[in-house]
Structure 1
Amino acid sequence: MNHVRPARWRTRWRRFHARLSLRTRLALSHVMVVLVAVGAMSGTRELMNGPAHDYLDPDAMGLWSGAAAAVVAAVVMSRFLVRPLDTVRAATHRLAEGRYDHVLDLPSEPGLAALVADVNTLAAALADTERRRARLVSEVAHEMKTPITILRGQIEGLADGIFAPDDAMFASLTDDLDRLRRLASDLSSLSRVEEGAFVLHRKRFDVAALARATAERLRPQYDDQRVALTVAADTPAITSCDPDRIAQVLVNLLGNALAACDHDGHVSISVRSDAGTGPDAPPQVLVLVTDDGVGITAGDLNRIFSRFERLEHPGRPAPAGGSGIGLTIARGIARAHGGDVTASSFGPGNGATFTLRIPMAPM
């Protein structure tokens, strides 16, 4: 039974301690330090001068007066130390309510300044996420509005006898339905990218052969826009991948390169194996898509992989029909394979190179 009572007291102490605010704990800790110091000084005084029974002795009065002043200072200091934390706490409540526009001033204490800076960074990130969420709704509504409006007009025209139900009309209806289907597919792929829920059907496959087939599939579009497309993928590059997903990445990269070029431009796609050096650089299959088009500024090289980010170039309209999530999906597919997609450019007007990296399959 003896061990039950200490356990009960420990439980009560924990409950009492949990009810105390941080400010109270700091004040009590300072007070305890002061009392221990006073007690030590009193004990030292008695050892040196003998027992002192006169509590009105000037030395004793000075000692206790100093202790009282120290206690008051401890309470004041605890309030001063906790005030920045109260400010951070209020800021987190505002973030929870969806208010991201308030920026906290950095305190002078380095540790608290780092905490406040992190809260400000979190607020900025949440504000950017909210902006993208609103833009998502706007972009999806815009992308769906046009084909739906066209479909409605065509169907009403067919019903009223204005349009003839011929092959051209049905082809137009099919194009608009395909546009809606592609948008729905892109949004579904984006959702899987952000959830990390891509299902890959891996098998050993030659990425070089896949690059050649994808280039030939898109060559008619290149010919229509008078953009030259060269392929350097003669050496097999075998790896374990989902060929349908990798083809999706290649279609996106080649499509973006085509959109970046003017007439008589040039795009190349090459595939090679990189043996890598050291444990941090394993063997990889590299696919490089290079164009001589509009180029990318240094500040946009990573931003273009964010969802719904479509670069605007002066005097050049944005590609029609793009949803702004193709590169986000492409990078998500590459990372699901353990690789990545990166971009490089020498700046506006100097073209760009997109590199797909896929870990090499063990032989």
Structure 2
Amino acid sequence: MKMAFCLFKYFPFGGLQRDMLAIAKACMNRGHTVEVFCGLWEGDSPENISVNIVNITGFTNQRRNRSFYEGVQERLAKADFDLVFGFNKMPGLDVYYAADSCFATKAYEKKGLLYRLTKRARESLKYESAVFSRESTTQVLLIAEKEKSKFQRYYKTPDQRLHLLPPGIAKNRILPNNYLAVRTQFREEFDIQPDEKLLLALGSGFKTKGLDRSIRALSGLSDKEKANTKLFVVGKDNPASFIKLAKKLNVESMITFFSGRDDANRFLMGSDLLIHPAYFENTGTVLLEAMVSGLPVLTTDVCGYAYYVADEGMGVVDASPFDQSSFNKNLASLLCEPRDIWFDKGRRFSETADIYDLSNHVAELLEGFVLQS
């Protein structure tokens, strides 16, 4: 089968981008041909996958999104694909990978009429309707069960077109047998003392991930705890406003920023706590990555995968509405827990949880959709 994968922007270390590549490779391993149509591509091109760069014009996000859609349609009209698989909402898709939340919920429940009248909102609703409306034939792959009811509330999407996927965690995140040696080497490399606590904020999009909340939590620690605690922030984003906040709260010296890295598993094993107070997170794959790495988690209940943390007792899930003082207390409490118990819990979770087969599951679904068409 010949498949077209459509993604507005690719950059290394993005969650959606990693999922796209993993699914593409799974399809290719099953003997299919995959071509990627992308508006922007940062980093190296993958082996054996043809990447087609679509020219994008316009100064606004709304105009650039439309330009990408029009460019993709022009390219697809000149080729013969068995299936068109989109990772951004747009008309004309056979299958959509629903990594984004329901825009209609935001537009109608969190914004006013004036917002819905803007060109950006109207076009976003139009593209979302093209995927989810009752009249559409697009099959939808959901990665967050909580979003299903939201889409159906506004678009009456039939159940048979909505397919819930399992999580997809890379197995290289699982705690290796030599994890203590990896941890020791990592902490020596970054001059983390044995008695120091290292917090990890991992993921691109610092604002959505609640980095400001993490910085405020640092400032809420006692002087003794501050002297013994560091925060590593790893991800793609502009840190300027967060550095400014850290300076204002006198915790700048406790924080180190890193761009996206290939060795995130070392950061997970070398740290003492994943701090992830997201404002919104459709799933939160990093929570599961931390857990199978034996790293406890402090997060918020808006994350789709937060229930794994609660069910497995792998940290604390802060309840909504978010309260900074409560979050600060939970942080201080978790920092007092002995590190070894989390390695044992993480090992048991990694051996029993069904969280590794997303890409192959998607590949099987794509094959079935083509056979049914």
Query: Given the two structures, how large is their TM-score scaled by the length of structure 1?
Result: 0.20
The higher-RCO structure (CA 8 Å, 6+ apart) is 2
More helix by share: 1
